[in-house]
Structure 1
Amino acid sequence: MTPFKSLYGLLLVGLLAVGCEKDKSVTPAEESKPVTVKINQSARVNQNVTLNVESINDSRCPANALCVWLGNATVKFSLKNDSEVQTGELCLGQCGQQLKNRDAVTVQLGGVNYEVALSEVKPFPGTQPDGTPKEAVVTVNRKN
């Protein structure tokens, strides 16, 4: 019985080691930490790559309300380097078929792929006074 326990233990350790292997296709950019950007503001996310938030549209259900529809938050952005600009749109919440599962997109810029991911739009509706400027929390990672 003891050899079987040892075998199962080794098998379990092996499966855990394989399951925890990192995805090597994503190489973090120099500044792969999330950046918080307001509308019409930019953030340098790499030595020569800049993220600009063009617009934020937030129709999420306010925190202090009971809604039939949860709503969504969309962010239009541009990613640019010294010679090229690419645009995209990200969405959190109920985004419909066109933007379904679009909290992250891959953008090619100068022959390099970047994953642009939206993690948060703040402030959440109903948590701050109306008119508080919206901010998008975005992470940009260079992919190989």
Structure 2
Amino acid sequence: MKKTILFALIWVAAVACDQKQEAAPQSELKSTSIPYRQLTTVATSGDNLKVELREVNDSRCPKNVVCIHMGSAQVKFNVSDGTNQTDVNLTFKGDKNADFQTFALSGVNYVIRVSEILPYPDTTQSPKLEDYKVNVTIEKK
């Protein structure tokens, strides 16, 4: 009797592990590199937005220094849909779960995510504002 119960429990566990959950397909958004002060088109789900990187205030810890605090970079974008435009301010800390900002444009809510800001600070040279490029994705909320 014990063997039958043990076999039944193992069988139930095996069947439960075998069930596959159907996941909704995620649309993969491509990251777009936006150079400093150059109007760039960013594809969103169904729309194309024009994005301009207006400001970069980079206080991240340089790569060849040991810092107590990682620092962050403040970036300011101007986003336009051809009819309306808005400024979007974002703080980049290198945390993919926190490096985003929501904004509204022409009655539509969007989320802008920053995945990378280049060049990374270095103590041997200070990057010029013209050297900065920010990788972003924008999606409808």
**Fold match by TM threshold 0.5:** yes
1:3 match: 8
1:131 match: 127
2:35 match: 38
Identity between Structure 1 and Structure 2 (%)? 26
Question: Are 1:82 and 2:82 an aligned pair?
Answer: yes
Name stretches of at least 5 consecutive residues in structure 1 with no aligned partner.
95-100
C-alpha contact (below 8 Å) 1:91/1:118 kept by paired residues = no
1:36-81 superposed Cα distances (whole Å, 9 cap, x missing partner): 1122112211344111111111111111112232211121112111
- The number of aligned residues is 129
C-alpha contact (below 8 Å) 1:90/1:102 kept by paired residues = no
C-alpha contact (below 8 Å) 2:119/2:127 kept by paired residues = no
How far did 1:22 drift? Answer: 4.0
How far did 1:124 drift? Answer: 1.0
How far did 1:112 drift? Answer: 2.1
| 2:135 maps to amino acid | V
| 1:136 maps to amino acid | V
Structure of larger gyration radius:
2
| 2:8 maps to amino acid | P
Name stretches of at least 5 consecutive residues in structure 2 with no aligned partner.
1-5
TM-score, structure 1 length as denominator? 0.74
